[in-house]
Amino acid sequence: MNKKVVLITGTNSGFGWLTANSVAALGHKVYATIRDTQGKNADKAKALAQVENVTVLDVSLTDETSVKNAIDTIIATEGRIDVLVNNAGIATFGVAESFTTDDVEQILAINAIAPWRLMKLALPFMRNQSEGLIINISSGWGRFAAPFSAVYGASKFALEGLSEGLHYELRPLGVDVAIIQPGAFPTEMSQKVQVGSDPSVVDEYKAIADVPNKMFAAISQMFETTNPNPQDVADAVVKLINLPKGQRPLRTVVDPSTGEIVKRANEAVNVEYAKVLTAFGIEELLD
């Protein structure tokens, strides 16, 4: 197995932490980004830096200079970048109208624009190599926008759109773009859900005030029934890295609870998507 240089974002906890450890354990060189490594994330950064094959980089993903410095460091040290895993993100929940414009801009900045920034900076090196892999961690809510998760869903829809278009643009150049769609998992991210900054409108939604409690009860029941393991997402990343170039699927669903629903939706859309590209005379990109 060829050892790869892998950049993973959001590695202080959850999927990112597990993915960094899993990829490094295979002997790949991992560059793991964590924000504020000298402050609130100091302990986690120190622990991850002690893992063999892992180098921790202090990166603010919404800062162009910070991200560029990270890419420059990797290239200066390794001469290449083989895999980019855009894992970092924030979760939101609440009445959509309670999110201000600033709220939405912040969410999009982290969940959609930051991955784009990294892809834009990494792609020249991958294209020059005629080989590379970008894995974007999306969500089942990147396929369906749920009530009270409309803003979060919108950010993941954006990431899915970028990923899907790039998948077909870049594959002829030797670069694969793949999406992982996790379902609900008991991770630290799920415990830090952000709400809208304008609660003044929430009282106007009393007619559906009981819906969030029903959703949380259903999710808790699913957790008890399926016992979802966040390691499954890290394993999915490893599987994509191990697959040969050009044979990686666009979407991988990792969801023991409602994943079959998302898979069927993906399959149905794929059929119609192929018809669209054929109608536009570019069906060769489907190969």
How many Å apart are CA 103 and CA 13, to the nearest integer? 23
Maximum CA extent, the chain: 58
End-to-end CA distance of the chain: 26
How many Å apart are CA 11 and CA 21, to the nearest integer? 9
Catalytic residue among 152, 168, 205, 273: 152
C-alpha pair distances (Å), 59 with each of 8, 62, 65, 142, 212:
11, 9, 9, 25, 34
The two structure tokens encoding residue 36: 């504020």
Residue 152 annotated in active site = yes
The DSSP-derived string for 144-206 is S--TT-HHHHHHHHHHHHHHHHHHHHHGGGTEEEEEEEE-----TGGGS-B--S-GGGGGGGG
Catalytic (active-site) positions: 152
